[in-house]
Chains A and B, each alone.
Chain A
Amino acid sequence: MAEGMTWSIEEADKLTQAEIYGDVLCQLGDKYPDLVAITADLAKSTKIGRFGEKFPDRFFNVGIAENTMFGMAAGMAQAGLRPVVSTFAVFTALRSAEQVRTDICYQNLDVKIIATHAGISFGQAGSTHHCTEDIAITRSFANMTVIVPADGIETGNAVAAAMEWPGPVYIRIGRGFEPNVHTTQDYGFEIGKAETINDGNDITIICCGVTVLHAVRAAKVLEQEGLSVRVINMHTIKPIDKDVILKAVEETKRIVTVEEHNVFGGLGSAVGEVIVESGKACVFKELGLPDVYSIVGYPEDLYNYYKIDSDGIVETISEMMGKKIEEDEDWEDET
């Protein structure tokens, strides 16, 4: 285990995102005796149940009652415990939005939420089980920190970091059958500090979650066509890393955001807010679900259909590179 790291899993690259989460939570259970884990009949699906197997006395399955679950988590935090809650993203950010906002965020309580099956990762289940609104909703809750890890290894890092981060944290993961982007956990993960995975000067892809893997793949394809593509893993949506965005705007002048979320309100909106406030102009494109409920299908097919996989990113960037940027000599001075 690297110094400062709070978890260690053999062959993490062979595990899904949720499996790593479950195993890391078990290790954190040793470190934090006041950590309690709560779910609503999704112990197996979210893998929080692994904690329950190891610490049955600190594990609570309330049944299918999410609203009570989040209120109960607030009460347990007020009792001086460290609740970690897991259910699907759709039941967290939509069904129980008010409990999460009023009971947890309004009272600024140390409740860590790991919401699974986010975006369209549960593709075959249909839109009742998809969640393409949660980034928009949770980042509008004052006091809430919002993290979208790129893969299982980053999920482990995010969950461990969240335990030491004050206030409520929302960590959004998918089903996580995709390979890891990271090969080691020791790459300097820090909440609120984006990771530049690939450097480049022609265009910047800002992405989060599963789209990071696709962005890295797209960058490799585009490199063969002679393009230098910067890839920024914006794992923390809130507080967002403004510096890395503005640096990319200045240095590459073309930005494309990619997310498994409605284009309204998510990563693209958060990045766009930073750019617009800066007064700097750039070519800007958001990839995500174009304000629709997803079609049904296997996630990889859906990522392709909505152009948030490597093919879609390559296609979009090729179009964007064809656009002329009207640069005046004073561009650097614009504010």
Chain B
Amino acid sequence: MPLTQEEIKELHKKSQEIRKRIVEITYSAGGGHIGGSLSETDVLVALYYKYLNIDPSRAHWEDRDRMILSKGHGGIGWAAILGDKGYFDKTLLKDFNKTGSPFGMHLDSLKVPGCDASTGSLGHGLAIALGLALGARLKGKSWHTYVMLGDGECCEGSVWESAAIVAHHKLDNLTGFVDRNKLMIDGPTEEITTLEPLEEKFRVFGWEALRIDGHDFTQIGDAIEKARATKGKPTMIICDTIKGKCVDFMENDYKWHYGGINSDMVDTAVKSIDSYYQKILG
């Protein structure tokens, strides 16, 4: 069933709140992978506030849906959501990156409740998701495994190894997303190593592939529902996104893959986010 206008409004409000928290954490942490955390926000918000079958009070509940952030550098964005969902006391996030804190740039599954796999080294998450999805099938469990890849990550050969094996096993209990913000650390993906046509690549590997605007909740919701309804093969949803989304001085600038911000920049960023949502929410 498509998302209602009311649901979409609520999801936008949540994204607005999460994006502002990402800015705050980036400031207090002394720097962070803010660009990619802002690009992935809407897909993660849709998953965590609408689609995932989870219970934050039981982080290790066996039947929960699994979520692997293969682009582990999006950890600030993910942690902001996990904290908001109540997996842990979100005031702990003020210690992000601090010595002895459970929160480093790339979340640790043994330290952060809700984090289903320690990622950060790119090209690993899809293989872990494959193991979880095969495991569910073998155990007769109905959990669904979601995995979000970075687009630059798709340069890694291991992504394509895993893509072939997931398709070979026809794992329709696995859904992937590529956060297609088109920028990697050193510049635009297509200038460094051409990734397109991404949907076609996944399709010839045996996947159902969809391409959507990764900031449009109607499209995100429809794609997730299509993926869940697709039988006999996995689905990869290529999400066109904007690196640094909603922060005007960061948008589409690869220099904001990782960066630190001062208090003036925090104010400007928050104003930019609020002004974006003012237009959407009125």
Contact = CB atoms under 8 A, between A and B. Distances in A.
Interface of A: 34, 36, 57-58, 60, 62-63, 65, 67-81, 83, 98-99, 102-103, 106-108
Contacts of A71: 124-128, 130-131, 158, 162
Output the residue of A63, A71, A74, A103 with the most chain B CB within 10 A.
Answer: A71
B127 A68 contact: yes
A81 B138 CA distance: 9
Contacts of A60: 134
Interface stretch (B115-123, B194-202, B211-219, B254-262): B115-123
A107 B138 contact: no
B117 A79 contact: no
A73 B138 CA distance: 13
Output the residue of B66, B117, B123, B128 with the most chain A CB within 10 A.
Answer: B128
Given A79-B132, A102-B121, A107-B109, A62 B139 contact: no
8 contacts: A65-B164, A69-B127, A72-B131, A72-B165, A75-B131, A78-B116, A80-B139, A81-B139
A41 to B, nearest CB: 12
Contacts of B131: 71-79, 83
Contacts of B118: 102-103, 106-107
B267 interface: no
Given A71-B124, A71-B128, A71-B162, A78 B117 contact: yes
Given A58-B138, A78-B116, A78-B117, A67 B132 contact: no
A95 to B, nearest CB: 11
Interface in B219-262: none
B128 A75 contact: yes
8 pairs of A and B residues whose beta carbons are closest in the complex: A75-B131, A79-B135, A71-B127, A72-B131, A65-B161, A75-B128, A76-B131, A68-B161
Query: Chain B interface secondary structure, helix, strand, loop or mixed?
Result: helix
A72 B135 CA distance: 9
Given A67-B161, A72-B162, A81-B138, 20 more contacts: A36-B138, A62-B165, A63-B164, A68-B126, A68-B161, A68-B165, A71-B131, A71-B158, A71-B162, A72-B128, A72-B131, A75-B130, A75-B131, A76-B132, A79-B135, A80-B135, A81-B135, A99-B127, A103-B118, A103-B124
Contact of A75 (B110, B121, B129): B129
Given A60-B134, A63-B165, A72 B110 contact: no
Contacts of A83: 131
A58 B121 CA distance: 29
Given A68-B127, A79-B132, A57 B165 contact: no
Nearest to B133: A75
A107 B117 contact: yes
Query: Chain A interface secondary structure, helix, strand, loop or mixed?
Result: helix
Contacts of A57: 138
Interface of B: 62, 66, 108-110, 116-118, 120-121, 123-136, 138-139, 141, 157-158, 161-162, 164-165
A146 B227 CA distance: 42
Contacts of A67: 123, 127, 157-158, 161
Contacts of B116: 78
A98 B119 CA distance: 12
Contact of B124 (A58, A76, A78, A99): A99
Nearest to B130: A72
B6 to A, nearest CB: 36
A103 B128 contact: yes
A208 B172 CA distance: 46
A76 B131 CA distance: 4
A260 B79 CA distance: 46
B138 A78 contact: no
A106 B134 CA distance: 22
A43 B126 CA distance: 23
